[in-house]
Amino acid sequence: MEFELKGNVLKFNRVLSNLDRLVIKFTKILSREKIDYVIISGYIAILFGRSRNTEDVDLFVEEMPFEKFFSFWNTLEKAGFECLNDSKPKEAFFEYLKNGLALRFAVKGTFLPNFELKFPKTDLNEYSVKNKIEVQLGEEKIYTSKMELQIAFKLYLGSDKDIEDAIHLWRVFKKTIDKELFMGFVKRLNVEGRLKELE
């Protein structure tokens, strides 16, 4: 896969899938509402060429007041999305997001794929939001976590699917990975023993 990475901007071109278009549609709403976000987990491996299905697209979104969330909720509904957890925005916000639980949104009348939104809980979660990569897909753009953290965290999760995601991302990005930064995350997550999986 050919791509160009300069700083925190990654450019590449490929034919967009239906999932890509849905992700772009959803994240455009986040951007329009001025909500900082970062895509994490399995969709990133799919975005960069791994052939597998996914049921959800995971995102961290910045902490926000209810009023901002309510505006986002209304804009999502107008765009054809609905919350799968709760039909009432106040309950969704205070009983889920503010309690550290994820909210799931999908196109109305469907369940899959869905978008799983969470507030950051840890300093690494915060890091992924503040140090995200801008991925330019032709005329479109989305934001993903840094590959150094993404690969290390996939090793940490450790399921067969997560390890395979880590291997795929490592093969795509190993020439551009900041090895010192990557090893810092590896040590922080205590996954040195799983590095052999990447080779």
* Nearest C-alpha neighbor of 106 from the set 147, 76, 137: 76
Q: What is the DSSP string of 162-173?
A: HHHHHHHHHHHH
Rounded to two decimals, the pTM is: 0.95
Q: Pick out the chain residues at pLDDT < 50.
A: none
- How many CB atoms are closer than 10 A to CB 189? 16
pLDDT at 13: 87
pLDDT at 55: 86
CB burial string 123-162: b at 16+ within 10 A, e below: ebbebbbeebbebbbeeebbbbbbbbbbbbbbbbeeeeeb
Give the Cα separation of 89 and 160 in Å (integer).
36
Provide CATH code, domain 4-146: 3.30.460
| Strand boundaries in 30-119, DSSP class E | 37-40, 56-61, 81-83, 103-107, 114-118
